[in-house]
Amino acid sequence: VTFFPAMLTLPEGGSATFFCNISIENDSGLEYSLNWYKETNHSQGQKIAGISWKNRDTNMDKYLLTNHTPTFKMEILNLHQNDSGSYYCGLITFFESNKVMESNRSLLVVTAAPEKTNATDDSEMEEINPSDYVNTMLLGILLLAGMVGLLIFGCLTVMYRKGGMIPHRGFFSQVEERPPVVSVSTVDYGVLEFQRTQVSPETWPVVQTEYATIIFPEEKPITPERRKKHQD
């Protein structure tokens, strides 16, 4: 007789399932009974449920037994922390001095149930997070598109103001710059007439002319003696 799984750890409010396997065929004609026992703090085992070879299942408030010969399933419903302990099954065969063959022990540990508020908060966060993520992505895309549009508009505005580039068929072509027209202001001063003061010939000043005679000395011829004397 074997009992499995060897250990289960479950929270309160759930259910635990154990299996008991016996080495008896369904058509052997042997009459038997299968019981489940619970031990707490290494105390003597206490019978909690049982099923006979002729019953398919046994439904109790706390336990549900199902016959799948040679395997039997036991479910412990609505777990509480006081359900923690060691469980095993015992096979009793009739007409053989009611001998009990016990299986190995399996341990069940029931933990405190998780707080419902935490589960609710987690579910709300799971529901909210995807929408927040989508909204954040859309906002980022809109901001990026707006920045690109403003940048393009600013570039076009600067080029239009400079007058050096204008859009033409999707491209920018340079326009020949014309020299600026400078307006020149002209002033007509007319004809300026200067009035002459007539002076009579009698009042004109007398011009006196003086002559001077310049006399150059006579140049003497240079003789060999004078040349020698001049060299000395």
- The string of pLDDT tens digits covering residues 66-79 is 988 889 999 999 99
| 172 within domain boundaries | no
Q: Which residues pair with 168 in a beta bridge?
A: 171
Average pLDDT over residues 207-231: 62
Residues 81 and 125 in one domain: no
**pLDDT for position 75:** 94
Residues 18 and 96 in one domain: yes
| 161 within domain boundaries | yes
Domain total in the chain? 2
Average pLDDT over residues 171-197: 50
| 68 within domain boundaries | yes
pLDDT in tens, 204-216: 555 566 666 666 6
Q: Which comes out higher in pLDDT, residue 17 or 217?
A: 17
| 227 within domain boundaries | no
Residue 214 CA: distances (Å) to CA of 173, 198, 219: 86, 41, 15
0.85 cut: is pTM over it? Answer: no
Residues 152 and 88 in one domain: no
Provide the residue range defining the domain that includes 85: 2-111
d(CA 91, CA 103): 8
Residues 54 and 146 in one domain: no
| 130 within domain boundaries | yes
**pLDDT for position 109:** 94
Mean of pLDDT over the chain: 75
Q: Which residues pair with 21 in a beta bridge?
A: 2, 71
Tell which of 90, 111, 132 closes a domain. Answer: 111
